[in-house]
Amino acid sequence: MLTIQELTPIPNIPQPKFKRIVIVGAGFAGLKLARELANTDYQVVLLDKNNYHQFQPLFYQVATAALSPSAVSFPLRRLFHKTENIVFRMAVVRKVDREKKILETNLGQLSYDILILSQGANTNFFGNKNIQRHAAPMKTTSEALYIRNKIISNYERAVNLGNIEERRPIMNVVIVGGGATGVELAGAIAELRNQVFPKDYPQLSFENMRVILIEAGPSLLAGLSENSQQKAQSYLKKLGVEVMLGTMVEDFDGYTVTLKDKEPIKTITLLWAAGVKANSLLGIADVQMAKNGRLLVDQFNKLLNDDSIYVLGDQCLQEEEEFPNGHPQVAQVAIQQAKNLAVNLKRDLKNQEWKPFRYRDLGSMATVGKKMAVVDLPFISFQGIFAWLVWLFVHLMAILGVKNKLIIFINWAWKYLAFDPSLRLLIRPKYINPNKREWLLDQDDPEE
Ligand SMILES: Cc1cc2nc3c(=O)[nH]c(=O)nc-3n(C[C@H](O)[C@H](O)[C@H](O)COP(=O)(O)OP(=O)(O)OC[C@H]3O[C@@H](n4cnc5c(N)ncnc54)[C@H](O)[C@@H]3O)c2cc1C
């Protein structure tokens, strides 16, 4: 096996006139930083394993056929048409040689002056291999599309089964994790069951379809106000979602969900939204990592014991007085850290002092269904139709690109007025020849 230094450099990356900043990951943090550094005296090389940016907060709408995958994904190259100092490559980063300042990728090696790690987080199955094998996570656009296919294929299958006992596990959906993702998925699936599927499959009786949301903790939406938690739970109940709090999932073999001290549940669809773990790469020392895998950084996002590496967003753990165990792994933290680092890197060009990072909590929100959402702002908390409108507006504004905003607006108007999401298509991937797979299949993370 070749060492990093023996690998050929990634071809066609111009020799830098200025310092080279390599950014790994074009999610909320990496992309924000790259855009802030456009047209500066740095060469920025942005690497991501996909050639698009993913807007994760709306994945659940892709999974439930309300939005198309392209509405929540944005082509990265299009963002950098007029920015000469930024080079993008679709590459999987595997390893770093911190002494020689070289990165190893699936395309070859790349040297850096400053390295920014913003690789985000992945699904945490807490070491349960069975659950990892059989459950469906939702951390990427392609996983959200898989869930859409899985759910639709279940009913295409169930409608051909005469025996009700055989149909039940195919129709039931179990969601694990009572955070915003689990709550939003459960609400959206219940709405499909209540209003859409009975029209699509009139021969099936949807009273036989259970939508179950399981949470190990004592409440849903940990971190939101008690009022919002209770309201979200009552909205789910209204939609017919069975909420099981204080319930531990122990195993899943693809047919039966085994619970601690409770009756097992029969289903072939277990959606896993129960936890995340930070992504990483080889070459980082154990002492630079917290127990949960997040990389330890100082108040400027500089990696512990390294002068050239900075870590942003979900991947880092930064202590602040109010957040002694690190910030929540949410988009606002990633964006604000990227903005602060961009300011500091620009100050560096003028030999000015760096500013430490301070997180400004803008609030949290979650939606359960049509006219049902909860919003907690720093000084006020509200629920119901107004909260739902605020949720729609905030997410519409946050999505990249005017075309995507328009498409989403039209989709939502159609969905909420007609209640007939039009994307219930089962587009199945065709078998890919092994010798053509590398560029057509999702690449695994280096540590998987
Ligand atoms: C389903 C879901 C819903 C969510 N909803 C909300 C919400 O409503 N509000 C909120 O604030 N937060 C939400 N979050 C959390 C939020 O999306 C994250 O906190 C945010 O994306 C973190 O940004 P980041 O830049 O650190 O990482 P990400 O945005 O995850 O970006 C990481 C990037 O790194 C790339 N990458 C990873 N490994 C490699 C590698 N080895 N080589 C090359 N590229 C690599 C990935 O492809 C990705 O583009 C949600 C998350 C999920 C999964």
What pLDDT, on the 0 to 100 scale, is given for residue 76? 96
Protein residue whose Cα sits closest to atom 31 of ligand 1: 27
What pLDDT, on the 0 to 100 scale, is given for residue 1? 63
Protein residue whose Cα sits closest to atom 23 of ligand 1: 28
Average pLDDT score over the chain? 93
Q: Give CA–CA dist 119/336, Å, rounded.
A: 16
What pLDDT, on the 0 to 100 scale, is given for residue 3? 76
Q: Verify that 158 and 191 share a domain, yes or no.
A: yes
Q: Verify that 135 and 267 share a domain, yes or no.
A: yes
- The residues near 145 (Cβ < 8 Å, ≥ 6 apart) are 62, 63, 69
pLDDT at residue 148 is higher than 70:
yes
- Residues 232-269 pLDDT 10s: 999 999 999 999 999 999 999 999 999 999 999 999 99
What pLDDT, on the 0 to 100 scale, is given for residue 318? 98
What pLDDT, on the 0 to 100 scale, is given for residue 331? 96
Domain range enclosing 239: 129-274
pLDDT at residue 411 is higher than 90:
no
What pLDDT, on the 0 to 100 scale, is given for residue 427? 80
Is 389 part of a structural domain of the chain? no
Q: Verify that 118 and 136 share a domain, yes or no.
A: no
- What are 296's two structure tokens? 């330890």
Is 163 part of a structural domain of the chain? yes
The CATH number of whichever domain residue 233 belongs to comes to 3.50.50.100
What pLDDT, on the 0 to 100 scale, is given for residue 421? 67
Protein residue whose Cα sits closest to atom 39 of ligand 1: 119
pLDDT at residue 104 is higher than 60:
yes
Q: Verify that 242 and 293 share a domain, yes or no.
A: no
Q: Which of 274, 296, 311 is the last residue of a domain?
A: 274
pLDDT at residue 445 is higher than 80:
no
Average pLDDT over residues 417-423: 70
- The residues near 308 (Cβ < 8 Å, ≥ 6 apart) are 98, 101, 112, 113, 114, 115
Is 104 part of a structural domain of the chain? yes
- Residues 57-98 pLDDT 10s: 999 999 999 999 999 999 999 999 989 999 999 999 999 999
Beta strands in 253-358 (DSSP E): 256-259, 262-266, 270-272, 276-278, 295-297, 309-311, 316-318
Residues having CB within 6 Å of any atom of ligand 1: 24-30, 47-50, 54, 56-57, 59, 92-93, 118-120, 138-139, 180-181, 279, 281, 313-315, 329-332, 334, 445-446
| % of the chain at pLDDT higher than 90 | 86
